[in-house]
Amino acid sequence: MSPVNVLMDVDTGVDDALAIMFAVAHPEVNLLGISCVAGNAALPQVVLNTLKILDAAGAGDIPVAAGAVRPLIAPARDASHVHGADGLGGIVLPETNRRPVGQGAVGMLRDRLVASSGPVTIIALAPQTNLALLLRTHPEVAAKVERILSMGGSASVGNATPTAEFNVWHDPEAAAIVLDSGIPTFMYGLDVFNHVAVAREQTEALQASSRRAQKVAGALLAHRIGMGPGREPVYTGLIGDAGAVCALVDPDALRVERLPVFVELAGASRGQTVVDRRQFPGEDRMHGLHSAVGLTDVALEVDAQRYVDFYLATIAQLD
């Protein structure tokens, strides 16, 4: 397949970092720019982490822009208990000479979309605040967006709450705006996110490498983003957000259904992506409720080992 024009929106974070490294490494990803948003960590830390990870991946001159410092409505709630206080699990990376572009995320996203000669895929790996602001500020750019492929939501279990996944829970209103935008959407949610994990031995082999990018990827994979029943850190090896970029290049490893999806904005399940998997409409539809819900391609199953092998083979191309 010819290279796909991609803009990434991140809250770098351990697994956003793994995703950025994959995007830089894969020849079929034409990375036009990266926008940053508060999520796993505060915005300045997310921007710094993103710049440093581009260095670690040996990336070219990729524009990085700072976006929203908090969700549209809710207060910011970081995930430092998962990603560490610095968002990268305490991994020490060299200082960077890279700097974010002067304009904000909305301006950078808009300019890159307008300037692109062809359609662009937006890969959303974070709370979707920047994307909601983009669509409300420059609705005309939607015509240049081929689809929004997001790590977000779940058709089953939550993580931030029993029913809500962190990115959507962090800014449910933003996720609802994106789902209602009319742009084709693809949901790489926890139903698949939770299963793509690198074996400990493979992670240890990366950590033992003498090559910079391999060592950094190994350190990221080794960071214990999982917690046991006593909240003790446990090894997971999850590639996390990076699976969403794998899905861009190798969608056949997924079982996908096109389903009605809406975001719950109130009550105990606020932030839940309600995925309608019924075979027949129910009373809600009979009484005119939820009838305007748009359809989303939802990844429900994944060939996990295929994505693990794909991920490792791709980042092996880095130094």
Residues of this chain that interact with Ca ion (CB under 5 A) are 11, 13, 16, 125-126, 241
Asked if residue 15 binds ligand RIB (CB under 6 A), the reply is: yes
Q: Count of residues binding ligand RIB (CB under 6 A)?
A: 16
| Separation of alpha carbons 49 and 284, rounded Å | 45
Asked if residue 166 binds ligand RIB (CB under 6 A), the reply is: yes
Part in contact with ligand RIB (CB under 6 A); list of ranges 12-20, 115-123, 252-260, 287-295: 12-20
Part in contact with ligand RIB (CB under 6 A); list of ranges 9-17, 84-92, 230-238, 286-294: 9-17
Cβ closest to ligand RIB, residue 15 vs residue 111:
15
Asked if residue 88 binds ligand RIB (CB under 6 A), the reply is: no
Q: What is the DSSP string of 205-268?
A: HHHT-SSHHHHHHHHHHHS--EE-TTS-EE---B-TTHHHHHHHH-GGGEEEEEEEEEE--SST
- DSSP-based three-state secondary structure for 53: helix
CB of 151 to Ca ion, least distance (A): 6
Cβ closest to ligand RIB, residue 23 vs residue 141:
23
Torsion of CA 194, 78, 54, 227, to 10 degrees: -40
Could you say which of 4, 5, 9, 11 contacts ligand RIB (CB under 6 A)? 11
The type of residue at 303 is D
Part in contact with ligand RIB (CB under 6 A); list of ranges 8-16, 54-62, 204-212, 304-312: 8-16
Asked if residue 8 binds ligand RIB (CB under 6 A), the reply is: no
Binding mask 111-130 for ligand RIB (x = CB under 6 A): --------------xx----
Asked if residue 13 binds ligand RIB (CB under 6 A), the reply is: yes
Identify whether the C-beta of residue 11 lies closer than 8 Å to the C-beta of residue 127: yes
Cβ closest to ligand RIB, residue 172 vs residue 240:
240
Tokens of residue 319, six digits: 């130094």
Residue 90: CB atoms within 10 A of its CB come to: 11
Contacts to ligand RIB by CB under 6 A: 11, 13, 15-16, 39-40, 79, 125-126, 151, 159, 165-167, 240-241
